[in-house]
Chain A
Amino acid sequence: MSKNVSGSKSFEWFTFLRLSKVLPTLLLCLLGFIFLIPVLWMLSLSLQTFQETIQNPLTLLPHSPQWGNYLQAFRDIPLLLYMGNTLTITVAVVVGSTFSAAFCAYAFARLHFRGRSLLFGMVLATLMLPPAVTLIPLYILFRDLHWINTFLPLTVPAFFGGGAFNIFLLRQFILTIPRELDEAALIDGASYWQIFLYLILPLSKPAMTVAAVMTTVATWNDFLGPLIYLNTPNHFTMALGLVSYSGNAGLYTNPQPQLLMAATVMMIAPIILLFIFAQRYIIQGIVTTGIKG
């Protein structure tokens, strides 16, 4: 009540403030809805009957949700097998790349050796190297090792440095750990190995979580790698299995749209759940590596 006393000028100012907050919020709601349309459409389609999916004009919301579509899609494709394969690859890649990236990042952040900055520059330069260039020689290398149609081409490289992105992320983080801790440990007679294992590694847990989350998303979503290295359906990952279900690989012929979308929901669900719960780490990863360059 007392606010009204201060006169008409401050009242205008007040409505302006409220308006300037309301308009952007409305705009955000509209844009956010537009960005969510594909996701909402996937959910709606996955619950429609086949009749609803083919009629014109199309059905925006299913008349009664067909939860049976999920069961049907689950029966149509060996989803658990694909999920198990994807999980095996992802776990191996995540463990390999986070630990080996921390290992190498420690060298770049703390240890002085000849050619360190040149080497670090080369590591960063690989971020710009298109994977398509090394694809063919790597395929030939893995074929000569008889690794085609195994998970090895997709997992073994992760143990060799864990990717430039992860090394950079962890190096930036280790640089923020006070050097006095290392020096005190050195004076107490700790070896570099012990410093890494008992000091740097436990303190780097936040950055390693970020690296692990980002690597999980990238590995789970990878399509080109599995497409090239995995040939038989019993080795397929979720992404590859889903696309083959859509009729691209000739294994299945044009599944009904609602079943394909139900399968898509089941394929993307783990990564979306991870995103919802680990969003903080993903955003932190982007922000540290993107800006503190």
Chain B
Amino acid sequence: MLQDTVKPVACEKPSPADGKQRRMRLTLQGREGVYGYLFASPVILGLLIFTVVPLFSAMYYSFTDYDLLTKANWVGFANYVRLWHDPLWYKSLSVTLLYALTSVPLGLIGSLGLALLLNREVIGVRFWRAVFYLPVVFPAAGASLIWLTMFNANNGLFNTILTFFHLPPYTWVSEPETALPSMIIFSLWGMGGSMLIWISGLRSIPTDLYDAARVDGANAWHQFWSVTLPMLSPVLLFNLIIGIISSLQIFTQAEIVTAGGPLHATFFIVLFIYQEAFQDFRMGYASAIAWMLFLLIALLTALVLRTSSNWVYYAGGDRNE
């Protein structure tokens, strides 16, 4: 406050040159702003046309009985009421949740194991990293056809291997009880994606932390629990969220390998949406299911983020950009 009153007199009278400069800077900033919108215009338009408007029209359609051919009639909450009483919805919800809640943790543990193995000085790291990542870029349609032949209960590859080791054959995707576990095993083939992210997380841990731990007498096990894991917790958060979002939306593999069967044992939510919308043309009902999926993903992501402050450790006190 005091400083304001004792300002040097010279500063109170801005010189004409000063004002000119400020005006010029303003116009420069204005020009920059215009160009900013210009350069961002594709994504502004794209967001509106392909995301925001469809998102809300999906909500609108979920209150109608639109069937692609006749005019959409407003039916209020009828689709949601129907969803509430639809045993298929509960089936697909539980199948999808069970799939996500098993395949994500198993995939995260497995991929962390692979990352720890590859983070050591072993022969041919680059080669093995490529081998484990290959399934991620492998076209899902082709992979599904291969796994379908391997799952064959009669003379498939998996049962041949089991018989070779004198183990009882498994029914894989041919029986309702074993179809979902089979799809989870299939999903684990793609754990290379999170493995890569674990690896880059491991590389960013400063080695002096391990040196300090070793000086304090920590063995490899202690080092893992007290240094590696806390330092990796932001990566775990990232992998967990990506894993939940993508596993709740499984479609291609299930459509090709099981088509939702047997007896809806692998009837994932997106399969339900696809079937309602593009096979039975119940766009309204399908939109209601799609919105429920959206809410489910938002809810689970928010839940993970909300609890993350308790278990995520950010080195340097705050989340670094």
Contact = CB atoms under 8 A, between A and B. Distances in A.
Contacts of B255: 223
A178 interface: no
Contacts of A248: 256, 259
Interface stretch (B11-19, B43-51, B84-92): B43-51
A137 interface: yes
B123 A138 contact: no
For A56, A133, A192, the residue with the greatest tally of chain B CB atoms inside 10 Å of its CB is A133
Contacts of B133: 279, 282-283
B135 A35 contact: yes
For B46, B124, B138, the residue with the greatest tally of chain A CB atoms inside 10 Å of its CB is B46
Contacts of B54: 133-134, 137-138, 141
B121 A104 contact: no
B50 A138 contact: yes
A133 B293 contact: yes
Interface stretch (B1-9, B97-105, B141-149, B222-230): B141-149
B290 A136 contact: yes
A89 B60 CA distance: 31
A158 B81 CA distance: 37
Interface string B116-154: 011011111000111111110111111101110110001
Interface stretch (B174-182, B209-217, B245-253, B309-317): B245-253
B79 to A, nearest CB: 12
Given A28-B117, A128-B301, A272 B55 contact: no
Interface in A254-285: 257, 260-261, 264, 267-268, 271-272, 275-276, 279, 282-283
A102 to B, nearest CB: 10
B155 A56 contact: yes
A31 B110 CA distance: 11
A107 B196 contact: no
Nearest to A161: B43
B73 interface: no
A124 to B, nearest CB: 11
Contacts, number: 275
B131 A36 contact: yes
A167 interface: yes
A228 to B, nearest CB: 6
A173 interface: no
A185 to B, nearest CB: 14
Given A133-B58, A283-B129, A286-B197, A114 B39 contact: no
A234 B129 CA distance: 38
Contacts of A192: 31-32, 35, 39
Contact of A132 (B141, B193, B200, B293): B293
The 4 A-B pairs of least Cβ separation, nearest first, read: A160-B46, A113-B36, A161-B43, A107-B39
25 contacts: A37-B157, A58-B156, A107-B36, A107-B40, A111-B36, A114-B33, A123-B47, A129-B51, A130-B270, A130-B294, A136-B61, A136-B273, A137-B53, A143-B68, A157-B46, A160-B43, A161-B45, A193-B35, A221-B141, A223-B252, A246-B256, A257-B149, A286-B197, A287-B197, A291-B235
Given A114-B33, A290-B196, 14 more contacts: A27-B117, A35-B192, A39-B146, A57-B160, A107-B38, A112-B32, A123-B43, A123-B47, A129-B55, A133-B54, A223-B256, A243-B141, A282-B137, A287-B200
Interface of A: 21, 24-25, 27-28, 31-32, 35-39, 41-42, 45, 54-58, 60, 100, 103-104, 106-108, 111-114, 116, 119, 122-123, 126, 128-141, 143, 157, 159-162, 167, 192-193, 196, 217, 220-221, 223-224, 228, 238-240, 242-243, 246, 248, 257, 260-261, 264, 267-268, 271-272, 275-276, 279, 282-283, 286-287, 290-291, 293
Interface of B: 29, 31-40, 42-47, 49-51, 53-55, 57-58, 61, 66, 68, 114, 117-118, 120-124, 128-135, 137-143, 145-147, 149-150, 154-157, 160, 163, 189, 192-193, 196-197, 200-201, 204, 235, 238, 241, 245, 248-249, 251-252, 255-256, 259, 269-270, 273-274, 277-278, 283, 286-287, 290-291, 293-294, 297-298, 301, 321
